Amino acid sequence: MHPFEYTLAGDADQAVAVATADPHTSFLAGGTTQLDLMKDGVLHPARLLDITRLPLKGITHTDAAIRVGALTTMEELAADPLVRERLPFVREALLLGASTQLRNMATIGGNLLQRARCRYFRDPTVPACNKRNPGSGCAAITGIHRMHAILGTSDHCIALHASDVAVPLAALDAVVHTQGADGTRAIPLTEFYLPPAETPHVENVLQHGELITAIEIPLLPSAARSHYIKVRDRVSYEFALTSAGVALVIEDGLIQEARVALGGVGTLPWRAWDAEDVLRGSRADTEVFRSAAEAALEGARPLPGTAFKVDLAKRTLVRTLETVAGAQS
Ligand SMILES: Cc1cc2nc3c(=O)[nH]c(=O)nc-3n(C[C@H](O)[C@H](O)[C@H](O)COP(=O)(O)OP(=O)(O)OC[C@H]3O[C@@H](n4cnc5c(N)ncnc54)[C@H](O)[C@@H]3O)c2cc1C
Ligand code: SF4
């Protein structure tokens, strides 16, 4: 492990100023991604700036939304009574992620910024990884890529976005609040992540030193029902092969409102806009759900090792839609 300096941030202004001035400084929150990657030799910042004492913890409510401080842990967010009542699929996605121990350390800001689980990214002895070493190639495309993406990929990177909770947050149009050298910003989550294209090492729109301060999550209407299904190789402590987060409002058998996002398939949390268009105004039945799933996966670009995901993702979405619709009948 490379030597590094450890500094405790006193306040947000100082944290942003210190990190912005030094490209070799990284923020440290729960450390469950950052420290793993440093121990594996993937990341080697000269300084870790510990932000865990900043006043960015806790959840506040309005009638329309909740605001989650970036340092709130996954477990704390899942335990919030309003999340349980009005955002059940957010709670489900949180509790299906990682393990209880990890969720008690892992912050919601850090969760959104977790890095790819690609084995070649996480092994610095592999030379070809455009994300870790821009311009070096992509070992996964011709290598083992069963856990990789089929939507939003490029010829330069096929790494999956691994966050579970980002899936319902994308469906809900959550907003990421930040503080940077140029002031504060409110960035819709659906515009926060960047597809790999030709620059897989640039994963989101944050500037270096820009701090996530909070996530604003709109509440679902009280008539809505929601659900998150995660399909994985084992039932706990595993990342998704496919997942779906769905919220529907159904009246008299007709879908009035639909919010759909997919996990386990995209290079970013995948908002399924086309599926929503199929669903909105249609009858809540399996035929319509299958059409929505076809629309959601239309742009998939599977490789041999990920071909199974196309059908699995469709089935996952249909099952999730059926479950939500069944809950309303
Ligand atoms: C074994 C294991 C299994 C896991 N399984 C799952 C799973 O099933 N589903 C899932 O969704 N996740 C899973 N995770 C990922 C886990 O949820 C993340 O590691 C965790 O949420 C990261 O949060 P953290 O506070 O520890 O972030 P850190 O590790 O401290 O930071 C992560 C990154 O975010 C940056 N950062 C952190 N906070 C801020 C901020 N406020 N502003 C700006 N930058 C910031 C850091 O500089 C770093 O680059 C798993 C992790 C492990 C180790
Ligand atoms: S998929 Fe992306 S992260 Fe994995 S080896 Fe290829 S470029 Fe690197």
pLDDT averaged over the chain? Answer: 97
One-character DSSP codes across 116-134: P--TTTT-TT---BTTTST
pTM above 0.95, yes or no: yes
Q: What is the pLDDT of residues 1-53, one digit of tens each?
A: 789 999 999 999 999 999 999 999 999 999 999 999 999 999 999 999 999 99
| Residue 295 included in any domain | yes
| Residue 179 included in any domain | no
Report the CATH number at residue 254. Answer: 3.30.390.50
CB 26 within 8 A of CB 48: yes
| Residue 296 included in any domain | yes
Which secondary structure element, helix H or strand E, spans residue 318, and what is its range? helix 307-328
| Residue 245 included in any domain | yes
Q: Is 31 in the pocket of ligand 1 (CB under 6 A)?
A: yes
| Residue 131 included in any domain | no
Mean pLDDT, residues 175-199 taken together: 98
214: CA distance to ligand 2 center in Å? 29
Domain that holds residue 284: 225-328
| Residue 21 token pair | 């001035």
What does DSSP say about strands 47-50 and 25-28: parallel, antiparallel, or unpaired? parallel
Q: List, in order, residues 6 or more apart from 137 with CB less than 8 Å away.
A: 127, 128, 129, 130
Give the Cβ contact number of residue 115 at 10 Å. Answer: 19
User: Cα angle at 81 between 78 and 84, to 5 degrees?
Assistant: 60
Q: What is the pLDDT of residues 119-164, one digit of tens each?
A: 999 999 999 999 999 999 999 999 999 999 999 999 999 999 999 9
| Residue 242 included in any domain | yes
Q: Is 120 in the pocket of ligand 2 (CB under 6 A)?
A: yes
Number of domains in the chain: 1
70: CA distance to ligand 1 center in Å? 11
| Residue 272 included in any domain | yes
Q: Please state the atom number of ligand 1 nearest to the C-alpha of residue 29.
A: 30
| Residue 60 included in any domain | no
